[in-house]
A and B are shown apart, each in its own frame.
Chain A
Amino acid sequence: DAGVIQSPRHEVTEMGQEVTLRCKPISGHDYLFWYRQTMMRGLELLIYFNNNVPIDDSGMPEDRFSAKMPNASFSTLKIQPSEPRDSAVYFCASSLGAWTGGAPDIQYFGAGTRLSVL
């Protein structure tokens, strides 16, 4: 399996522009997670999906952020309009299930998208 695939790997944009990050989870995985990582705040969960349905979006910072999962093999995270404080590494992760034997299934991360908003 190719693993979780994210694109683009790097994105440089200007403040106010729309940014779309893409993710292809591992085939057969039912859960998909979007994280943001910065030096100041570490790795933060933004939103996660189960069988393409958003379960918890409480980590989405504000209305400028939106995420969709139109099918089991594709998800997008959109920022509109982007701001310099959105600069971070955005990771997508997927897992086979949620809980197995009372513990969460292993999450496999993509390589991330490094976003710079100027």
Chain B
Amino acid sequence: RKEVEQDPGPFNVPEGATVAFNCTYSNSASQSFFWYRQDCRKEPKLLMSVYSSGNEDGRFTAQLNRASQYISLLIRDSKLSDSATYLCVVNQAGTALIFGKGTTLSVSS
């Protein structure tokens, strides 16, 4: 079983749609969780951290379910500029980050 698994997509949605990505991780000792965004042929950049209580940043909402070892990212009112690959990232204390392969989102007008 891979350490971090994501549905690769692609998710094709119209502008204004709400879309949700899911991610599961295998190591129950994982302590920190993140979503990174990677545009086509660009480097990954931190989108947001994921906290146990759930957190929101504008149109983006991240949630964590430790019991199910599951992380989600919800994007509301999708924009064309949201088109990218979204990488789920986890780590245990004292170790390096582990990246999922990413979920590709394509928003069309």
Contacts and interface: CB of A to CB of B under 8 A. Distances in A.
Judge: A and B partners, yes or no. yes
Interface of A: 33, 41-45, 48, 56, 91, 98-99, 102-104, 106-107, 109-112
B70 interface: no
B96 interface: yes
Interface string B9-52: 00000000000000000000001100000000011111001000
Contacts of B42: 111
Contact of B99 (A43, A56, A110): A43
Nearest to B42: A111
Given A102-B32, A103-B32, A109 B44 contact: yes
A90 to B, nearest CB: 11
Contacts, number: 41
Contact of B101 (A33, A42, A111): A42
Interface of B: 31-32, 42-46, 49, 87, 91, 93-94, 96-102
Contact of A104 (B44, B97, B99, B101): B97
Contacts of B32: 102-104
Contact of B96 (A33, A41, A102): A33
Given A102-B32, A103-B31, A45 B46 contact: no
A45 B43 contact: no
Contacts of A111: 42-43
Interface of A is mostly: strand
B11 to A, nearest CB: 17
A102 B87 contact: no
A110 B43 contact: yes
Q: Give the residue among A43, A45, A48, A91 with the most B Cβ atoms within 10 A.
A: A43
Given A42-B99, A104-B32, A99 B94 contact: yes
